[in-house]
Structure 1
């Protein structure tokens, strides 16, 4: 028995080295393939596996220039921000600050009788699962803007952001009509995620960046993650809308940022993956709890998309702005996390990102 244990321990460095070679080879192969697609000029890939981290970066952040991304490049991660919002809500549940069955109107001033349909009110759970019936965006001018695929989408969105505020959001929310009872149908809503930002700040009496810091950023030393980054953090990347030659402006985030306002780098995202793979963390476990069924294999947790297949139960979320897109996947069965970020945003980018993650997964786990 003693000799067998010594033999096993002696093999660990070899196994670790083989794993590293396998993962690095897979990242290199898929990164180079990703870069060959039309309009793609850069991609960053990060993998967390069994406590080890792997990153590679490809191409240039600026068309026609040699500006390579690095682990320190800060990106807008769009709706992947919602998973961090979900973590804060799960913490609030554990802290007994709120319940999933709470009506959202109990956290709002008087005058929001419209946030119910046939006396069935919108609850916290409805916001988390995109079943509230609230629209995709407020103000209404944004709805349909990105679907137009017009070259000037980034500039139009910037102009709308410049003239919108939290006060205007709350005013517009008073007149949003619900067309059916909440809780029945999945309909993606950034409005619901921003409303959760308002509720979180209300119940804790602190802004979102402070809540994120106290919840996990400080503990994990995620120094380059936040909604309002410091002026010293100048590595915030810009990207391209479709085939535009001009870079898109960064988002202003005039609301709470809980729908898509977080910026971070690959170094911090790897730490976030480690957090999400820690099943002993009660907040993580709560945030992964399935709250709404979208079919036999698809569920929704605290904003996480939950999927069950031969790779076990996994958690994922896509995020996009008018300049960047990314996809984050968590595979607990394999103690594996994958993040892929590109500085191009177009209608075909999400599918390309997702297919690349699936190819990486297949090469890494070899099931």
Structure 2
């Protein structure tokens, strides 16, 4: 009996020391690469979060306003931009499992007006095409938004703000009549925020609820994501940070998306995003599992699930998505093989920022699992 107790105590001690070592390893990796990240040109702050084995780690670096010495923290609310699409994908996966939608459905079945233009030689755009950016739709509506980001000058944030401020759902649906489908849907990848907005329109119609309400009922409440929404309350708006475009000294205006905002409109905190990662890694969540199912594979490196980019390498099958506005950028990665997820956010945006973010994630990943 004494021998059994001794073995049990030894095993528990080894487990405790192993867990303690893992915690120290993760924290050290975050601090090492976070400090290195903020040394890059134009970067003034970054927030890094890691979820692993039901534990979360958050650390913040730098200052939100240049020269103000105000570091971000766990209450700081960020625009997560296109990472929003993965949440939209989750809502669509839920609708699929509830048999309110089918992946092969013609999207025009859910639009109130007639849109004969949303097909190519009688080949319609389907729900699956919207989820995989293969519907041959333009990147943005209104069309004048397309090309704004082609020239990286200091006025980009203010051009975007001016266009968004004047654009409505009615105008979007009217402009959708003018869209020309030049390729057979399902054959070519072409990133489109328009497709994500159409899904927002469809989801609100089939459930007769707002996207905020659908997210609240579907996963925000269950995972205690109390600081995640498209439309923030007054107290949360006070915590919504601003960001910087390239080398601008003047902060960029916050997003004014007046559409369904299912392409890029969610705001969130780092702790909430780690709870979101926890949900995505929950093997008992049938909706998350469905949302990870590969819907498009070009036979090379591009694989897409419900908006998720799917990657397969020595770290197993992983899922990721990048999000960027004219003032903030973030990247969210999920590595099921290691029960691990990483979220990294900075309130600086420019053409080099995505690569800086992804390289930092890969360095943290390597330090943590190798």
Give the TM-score taking structure 2 as reference length. Answer: 0.97
Q: 1:280 Cα shift?
A: 1.6
Check whether the contact 1:294–1:300 (CA below 8 A) recurs between aligned residues: no
Correspondence for 2:116: 113
**238, 248, 255: which is aligned to 1:251?**
255
Q: 1:129 Cα shift?
A: 0.2
Correspondence for 1:360: 364
Correspondence for 2:244: 240
1:102 matches 2:105: yes
1:151 and 1:261 map into 2 onto residues whose CA distance is: 23
1:287 and 1:4 map into 2 onto residues whose CA distance is: 43
Q: 1:226 Cα shift?
A: 0.3
1:263 matches 2:267: yes
**20, 40, 43: which is aligned to 2:43?**
40
**80, 94, 99: which is aligned to 2:83?**
80
Check whether the contact 1:78–1:262 (CA below 8 A) recurs between aligned residues: yes
Check whether the contact 2:330–2:346 (CA below 8 A) recurs between aligned residues: yes
Partner secondary structure for residue 269 of structure 1: helix
1:289 and 1:42 map into 2 onto residues whose CA distance is: 35
Partner secondary structure for residue 97 of structure 1: coil
Is the deviation greater in 103-112 or in 258-267?
103-112
Correspondence for 1:219: 222
Correspondence for 2:153: 150
Which ranges in structure 1 are unaligned for 5 or more consecutive residues?
Answer: none
Correspondence for 1:70: 73
Supply the RMSD in Å over aligned alpha carbons.
1.0
Check whether the contact 1:298–1:308 (CA below 8 A) recurs between aligned residues: no
Check whether the contact 1:35–1:43 (CA below 8 A) recurs between aligned residues: yes
Partner secondary structure for residue 306 of structure 1: strand
Correspondence for 1:183: 186
2:92 and 2:104 map into 1 onto residues whose CA distance is: 13
Check whether the contact 2:165–2:257 (CA below 8 A) recurs between aligned residues: no
Q: 1:7 Cα shift?
A: 2.1
Partner secondary structure for residue 68 of structure 1: coil
Partner secondary structure for residue 264 of structure 2: coil
Over 3 Å counting, the alpha-carbon distance change for 1:294 and 1:4 in structure 2 is farther
Correspondence for 1:325: 329
1:286 and 1:64 map into 2 onto residues whose CA distance is: 46
1:192 and 1:262 map into 2 onto residues whose CA distance is: 16
Q: C-alpha offsets along residues 275-330 of structure 1, whole Å, 9 cap, x if unaligned? A: 01112210000000000013344310000000000000000000000000000000
Correspondence for 1:171: 174
Correspondence for 1:313: 317
1:132 matches 2:139: no
Q: C-alpha offsets along residues 193-247 of structure 1, whole Å, 9 cap, x if unaligned? A: 0000000000000000000000000111111000001011111010000100000
Q: 1:252 Cα shift?
A: 1.0
1:289 and 1:4 map into 2 onto residues whose CA distance is: 43
Which ranges in structure 2 are unaligned for 5 or more consecutive residues?
Answer: none
Is the deviation greater in 291-300 or in 232-241?
291-300
1:349 and 1:113 map into 2 onto residues whose CA distance is: 40
**47, 54, 58: which is aligned to 2:57?**
54
1:302 and 1:101 map into 2 onto residues whose CA distance is: 14
Give the TM-score taking structure 1 as reference length. Answer: 0.98
Partner secondary structure for residue 87 of structure 2: helix
Question: How many residues are matched?
Answer: 366
